[in-house]
């Protein structure tokens, strides 16, 4: 593909930011547009566990992206920190799953996929995590699971892009629709006017389906609200991540403990609610009783881009030359971002793809 490309990316979450980062060295000009501020939606609301919550419950398509990303995240974190001085804090803590109904399936999956997941005695868990609540009887553990501090990752990616002379970032710039010439998409319409491009990439998270609807396409990506809370504790309070009954506690390096999250189908409303706050606090105290006296220093909500089986859309939009998708990552955008954005760059630039792109192709799925 010729180098004199102008690529417009619609959506400035982690997927859009990392797509821009991967393309910037390969194309002449990248313009990144976001309807509000960068990374303020799903990227901000996620916990940042560098694993699907229950990896064995997903299809091979999600697993392939997750494994590539998990292996790549530490070097991405180091590269961004070296380039910007902003550390995304890729923090390897390990993860305990407690009292799973499908523990047997989880262990069988780990054997097939050669992932270091094993059953551990509950007494060993209490030894490793002294603050864990009583009442749990079984556990499985994966040692090499990390979490990334998503707001720092957004900040670091933004700083890296702002340092590049051929990248333009426009926040508070909502895209209203696409410019077309025949079957080709040649740019976007924004409140600030038209912007022409050689290629347009839609990475607009929960808003991607609405935007594609303007072309008469039905992309099954819808907003799914998630709420979480944040505690501040001592830096050594919680040594690793714990997950039970669909709720998790994630330690950051400085002692912040993130507890999440809800799954709510409320359209585009992302108002934090008192009922979710109480539910999350109850889960937090059940997992870690000492949190009953800890102060909640944050409570917020964001909208995830829900998609069938959580399999993202990565590739060309059939019938619309010049239009591409990298969206629909549902609960796993942060987990899958490195692989999704590398695969996307490979496809757009005509390179050998890192993994088989067929499961993610929009063709036949919209």
- Within a 13 Å sphere around the CA of 249, how many CA atoms are in the beta-carbon half? 30
For the stretch 215-247, pLDDT in tens is 999 999 999 999 999 999 999 999 999 999 999
Q: How far apart are CA 155 and CA 22, in angstroms?
A: 16
Query: Is there a single domain that holds both residue 120 and residue 245?
Result: yes
The answer to whether residue 4 scores a pLDDT higher than 80 is no
Query: Is there a single domain that holds both residue 326 and residue 301?
Result: no
DSSP for residue 258: E
| Residue 52 in domain | no
Query: Is there a single domain that holds both residue 247 and residue 299?
Result: yes
264 pLDDT tier (thresholds 50, 70, 90): very high
Query: Which residue is associated with the tokens 């993860």?
Result: 95
Query: Is there a single domain that holds both residue 182 and residue 282?
Result: no
What sections of 89-149 are H helices per DSSP?
Answer: 103-113, 122-128
The answer to whether residue 1 scores a pLDDT higher than 50 is no
The answer to whether residue 263 scores a pLDDT higher than 80 is yes
Beta bridge partners of 258: 230, 250
Token digits of residue 256 = 């912040």
For the stretch 304-337, pLDDT in tens is 999 999 999 999 999 999 999 999 999 999 999 9
Domains of the chain: total: 2
- The pLDDT value recorded for residue 44 is 86
Domain span at residue 258 reads: 95-143+222-306
| Residue 11 in domain | yes
Query: Is there a single domain that holds both residue 198 and residue 265?
Result: no
Query: Is there a single domain that holds both residue 168 and residue 300?
Result: no
CATH number at 266 reads 3.30.9.10
46 pLDDT tier (thresholds 50, 70, 90): confident
Query: Is there a single domain that holds both residue 262 and residue 350?
Result: no
| Mean pLDDT within 93-120 | 96
On whether the CB atoms of residues 227 and 260 are closer than 8 A, the answer is: yes
Instruction: Rounding to the nearest 10 degrees, give the CA dihedral for residues 12, 14, 16, 21.
Output: 110
Query: Residue 218, exposed/middle/buried by CB under 10 A (0-12, 13-18, 19+)?
Result: exposed
Query: Is there a single domain that holds both residue 265 and residue 124?
Result: yes
Query: Is there a single domain that holds both residue 259 and residue 279?
Result: yes
| Mean pLDDT within 262-281 | 96
The answer to whether residue 2 scores a pLDDT higher than 70 is no
Query: Is there a single domain that holds both residue 296 and residue 156?
Result: no
């Amino acid at each position: 593909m010729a180098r004199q490309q102008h690529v417009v990316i619609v959506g400035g979450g982690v997927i859009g930011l990392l797509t821009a980062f991967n393309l910037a060295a390969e194309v002449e000009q990248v313009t990144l547009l976001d309807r509000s501020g960068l990374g303020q939606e799903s990227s901000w609301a996620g916990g940042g566990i560098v694993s699907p919550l229950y990896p064995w419950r997903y299809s091979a398509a999600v697993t392939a992206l997750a494994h590539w990303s998990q292996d790549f995240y530490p070097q991405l974190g180091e590269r961004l920190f070296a380039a910007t001085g902003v550390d995304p804090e890729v923090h390897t803590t390990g993860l305990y799953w407690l009292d799973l109904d499908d523990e047997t399936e989880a262990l069988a999956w780990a054997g097939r996929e050669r992932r270091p997941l094993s059953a551990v005695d509950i007494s060993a868990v209490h030894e490793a995590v002294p603050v864990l609540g009583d009442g749990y009887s079984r556990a499985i553990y994966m040692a090499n699971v990390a979490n990334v501090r998503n707001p720092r990752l957004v900040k670091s990616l933004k700083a890296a892009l702002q340092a590049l002379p051929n990248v333009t970032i426009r926040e508070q710039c909502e895209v209203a629709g696409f410019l077309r010439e025949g079957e080709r998409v040649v740019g976007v319409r924004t409140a600030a006017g038209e912007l022409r491009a050689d290629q347009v990439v839609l990475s607009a998270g929960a808003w991607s389906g609405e935007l594609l609807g303007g072309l008469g396409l039905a992309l099954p990506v819808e907003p799914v609200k998630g709420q979480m809370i944040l505690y501040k504790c001592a830096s050594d309070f919680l040594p690793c991540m714990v997950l039970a009954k669909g709720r998790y506690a994630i330690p950051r390096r400085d002692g912040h403990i993130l507890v999440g999250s809800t799954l709510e189908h409320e359209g585009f409303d992302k108002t934090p609610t008192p009922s979710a706050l109480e539910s999350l606090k109850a889960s937090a105290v059940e997992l870690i009783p000492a949190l009953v006296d800890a102060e909640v220093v944050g409570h917020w909500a964001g909208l995830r881009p829900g998609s069938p089986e959580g399999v993202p859309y990565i590739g060309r939009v059939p019938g619309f030359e010049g239009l591409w998708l990298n969206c629909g990552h549902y609960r796993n955008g942060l987990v899958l971002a490195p692989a999704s954005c590398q695969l996307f760059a490979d496809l757009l630039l005509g390179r050998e793809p890192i993994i088989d792109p067929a499961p993610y192709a929009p063709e036949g799925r919209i």
